[in-house]
């Protein structure tokens, strides 16, 4: 297992449109400004990474992660700045690489990116892509992106975009930047990440984290098979922290209920219930919500079970007030992370 002092801890957000102190929704513009302030606080409390997801719908405010991250770069000093995720299938790999190479420059080498197909499909019709090409779009574009990371002239051809012949892409980075592939639980996706030599970021949003151990083992075996060097494994899971378990649950549940039911109505899910929520925040659930001690012990157990290098908490989960999110971030950095390191160091 990665030594406790070398473990990385990050925060993820989709820029969920929030509410003010009276419960009224704030604008998407204000939500974006608040996200930048949240990144600034994450830097101040000593966290390692801050990632924003790409979405194209009214309940999430961030459609251009690199712009938000560039704003965050101007107000932070050490925080790694990445995505959760960039929907590569409906974007152009050359433009994505250029944007994040630029972010790496303005942040003084702090950019990273997590590539994925996305769990939402709004970007496909919006940018003129056919969902029937879902698999080939990601496979081809991920291959091209991997070639671009070498920062050498690229010759490539495929079915999803114009061919490249000895093409250079600018700007060049000074030291490259970390690339992850976001995976929701498909063995094929795990093997794909290993084949390209990228890090593995597991999105665990339901059930016990321990059930993902076969995917971690498959990833390490696949890296060896493809003769790739060791690559990190991380987890992205949702949660919220407050002074007590009950306070955290009471703050999180109403927002999560609305968010889950809104998305569930689109996908045919049954209504979200308080009983399901309490199962999710329990020891075998995928929601890390509670007091600092409760959350720290659950994160530590997940790190041990999966032999992780990184744990990212998706701290925004529905329309929660900015002030609650800021307090959650503060507690995560000042109390949860130090406690996790302590628990791992002592084997408690």
In a domain, 28, yes or no: yes
Q: Say if residue 342's pLDDT is above 90.
A: yes
- Structural domain boundaries, residue 95: 8-346
Q: Say if residue 117's pLDDT is above 90.
A: no
Instruction: Give percent of the chain with pLDDT exceeding 90.
Output: 88
Q: Say if residue 45's pLDDT is above 90.
A: yes
**What is the pLDDT averaged over residues 236-246?**
98
pLDDT at 185: 78
3-state secondary structure 289-336: EECHHHHHHHHHHHHHHHCCCEEEEECCCCCCCHHHHHHHHHHHHHHH
In a domain, 207, yes or no: yes
In a domain, 65, yes or no: yes
**What is the pLDDT averaged over residues 202-218?**
95
pLDDT at 120: 85
Question: Domain of 140: which CATH number?
Answer: 3.20.20.30
What's the predicted TM-score (pTM) here?
A: 0.96
pLDDT at 301: 97
Q: Say if residue 204's pLDDT is above 90.
A: yes
**What is the pLDDT averaged over residues 206-223?**
96
pLDDT at 283: 93
**What is the pLDDT averaged over residues 88-101?**
97
In a domain, 128, yes or no: yes
Top-confidence residue, 348 or 307:
307
pLDDT at 96: 98
Instruction: Give percent of the chain with pLDDT exceeding 70.
Output: 100
In a domain, 3, yes or no: no
**What is the pLDDT averaged over residues 255-268?**
91
Question: pLDDT band at 1, cuts 50/70/90?
Answer: low
**What is the pLDDT averaged over residues 239-268?**
94
Instruction: Count how many domains the chain has.
Output: 1
Residues in Cβ contact with 302 at an 8 Å cutoff, skipping those fewer than 6 apart: 209, 235, 237, 308, 311
In a domain, 1, yes or no: no
pLDDT digits (tens, 9 = 90+) for 6-33: 899 999 999 999 998 888 889 999 999 9
**What is the pLDDT averaged over residues 328-345?**
98
In a domain, 310, yes or no: yes
3-state secondary structure the chain: CCCCCCCEEEEEECCECCECCCCCECCHHHHHHHHHHHHHHHHHCCCCEEEECCCCCCCECCCCHHHHHHHHHCCCCCCEEEECCEEHHHCCHHHHHHHHHHHHHHCCCCECEEEECCCCCCHHHHCCCCHHHHHHHHHHHHHHHHHHCCCCCEEECCCCCCCEEEECCCCCCCCCCCEEEEECCCHHHHHHHHHHCCEEEEECCCCCHHHHHHHHHHHHHHHHHCCCCCCCEEEEEEEEECCCHHHHHHHHHHHHHHHHHHHHHHHCCCCCCHHHHHHHCCCCCCEEEECHHHHHHHHHHHHHHHCCCEEEEECCCCCCCHHHHHHHHHHHHHHHHHHHHHHHHHCC
Average pLDDT of the chain, as a whole number? 95
**What is the pLDDT averaged over residues 95-104?**
98
In a domain, 182, yes or no: yes
């Amino acid at each position: 297992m990665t030594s406790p002092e070398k473990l990385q801890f990050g925060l993820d957000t989709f820029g969920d449109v929030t509410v003010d102190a009276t419960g009224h929704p704030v604008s998407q513009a204000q939500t974006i400004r608040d996200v930048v302030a949240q990144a600034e606080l994450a830097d101040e409390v000593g966290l390692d990474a801050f990632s924003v997801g790409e979405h194209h719908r009214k309940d999430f405010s961030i459609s251009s992660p690199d712009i938000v991250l560039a704003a965050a770069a101007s107000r932070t000093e050490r925080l790694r700045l990445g995505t959760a995720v960039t929907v590569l299938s409906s974007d152009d790999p050359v433009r994505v690489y250029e944007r994040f190479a630029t972010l790496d420059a303005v942040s003084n080498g702090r950019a990273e990116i997590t590539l994925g197909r996305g769990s939402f499909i709004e970007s496909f019709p919006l940018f003129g892509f056919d969902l029937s090409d879902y698999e080939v779009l990601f496979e081809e574009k991920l291959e091209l992106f991997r070639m671009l990371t070498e920062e050498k002239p690229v010759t490539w051809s495929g079915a999803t975009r114009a061919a490249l012949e000895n093409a250079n892409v600018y700007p060049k980075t000074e030291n490259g930047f970390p690339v992850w592939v976001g995976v929701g639980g498909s063995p094929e996706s795990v093997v794909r990440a290993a084949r390209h030599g990228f890090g593995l970021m597991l999105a665990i949003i339901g059930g016990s984290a321990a059930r993902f151990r076969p995917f971690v083992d498959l990833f390490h075996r696949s890296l060896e098979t493809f003769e790739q060097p060791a690559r990190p494994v991380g987890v992205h899971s949702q949660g919220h922290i407050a002074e007590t378990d009950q306070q955290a649950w009471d703050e999180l549940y109403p927002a999560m209920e609305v968010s889950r039911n809104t998305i569930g109505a689109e996908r045919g899910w049954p209504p979200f219930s308080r009983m399901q929520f309490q199962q999710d925040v329990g020891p075998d659930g995928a929601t890390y919500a509670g007091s600092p001690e409760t959350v720290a012990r659950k994160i530590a157990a997940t790190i041990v079970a999966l032999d992780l290098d990184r744990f990212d908490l998706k701290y925004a989960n529905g329309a929660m007030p900015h002030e609650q999110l800021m307090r959650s971030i503060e507690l995560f950095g000042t109390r949860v992370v130090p406690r996790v390191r302590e628990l791992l160091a002592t084997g408690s």
